A and B are shown apart, each in its own frame.
Chain A
Amino acid sequence: DTGVSQDPRHKITKRGQNVTFRCDPISEHNRLYWYRQTLGQGPEFLTYFQNEAQLEKSRLLSDRFSAERPKGSFSTLEIQRTEQGDSAMYLCASKGGDSYEQYFGPGTRLTVT
């Protein structure tokens, strides 16, 4: 069990550029979550996958955001036409089907200049 991994750990981009983040969950976990954390706040739910199916998207996830989990393993989160307000830590978490606790990756810190 190598834990949840995320790549990259840090991303600096200019406003208007597209960025993509990757999350690799714990291998036997079929549930995957994305959260966003801004400075001084707790994580806020963005979206949820059960296997490859995306079952919920928060209204925080504008149409510039898209997430996929094509084979029910790793997931990607893409932000198109980034804005300064997108600057945040993007956290990925996974869990097994019968448990309640989620296991978090180290996060990707996005800075939009």
Chain B
Amino acid sequence: AQSVTQLDSQVPVFEEAPVELRCNYSSSVSVYLFWYVQYPNQGLQLLLKYLSGSTLVESINGFEAEFNKSQTSFHLRKPSVHISDTAEYFCAVVMFSGGYNKLIFGAGTRLAVHP
């Protein structure tokens, strides 16, 4: 069965510093991975996805994630964070079941950007 582990529950960082949010997955079938971001009292917004092709995927706001099959990881990185990046970040893997699919989420990492 698929599962997702986010290794850090909280990551504090200063503005303009680099950040990495770690995600490891387990899956015995084709792997499709996502990062979602959740701002306070809001739903989840899709940040980026890996379905196939290039193992490095990028979002429009400067985040990137690299799919590493040998290490079963999909870590999220940003070279320089802003205050507005403060949010909860969730890594998710697609789980296939009975001819359809659903998302399995990690517990989330709270990114706190300080001035």
Residues of A within 8 A of B (CB): 4, 6, 31, 33, 40-45, 48, 50, 55-56, 91, 93, 100-107, 109
- Number of interface residues, chain B, beta carbon within 8 A: 28
Q: When A40-B108, A42-B107, A42-B108 are in contact, do A56 and B46 touch as well, CB less than 8 Å?
A: no
Residues of B at under 8 Å CB distance from A?
4, 6, 9, 32, 34, 36, 41-46, 49, 51, 90, 92, 94, 97-98, 100-108
Q: Which residue of A lies closest to B106 (CB)?
A: A42
Given contacts A4-B43, A42-B90, contact A48 B100 (CB under 8 A): yes
- A41, B107: Cβ atoms under 8 Å? yes
Alpha-carbon gap, A50 to B42, bound state (A): 25
- Bound: A104/B105 CA distance, A: 13
Closest residue on chain B to residue A107 by CB atoms: B43
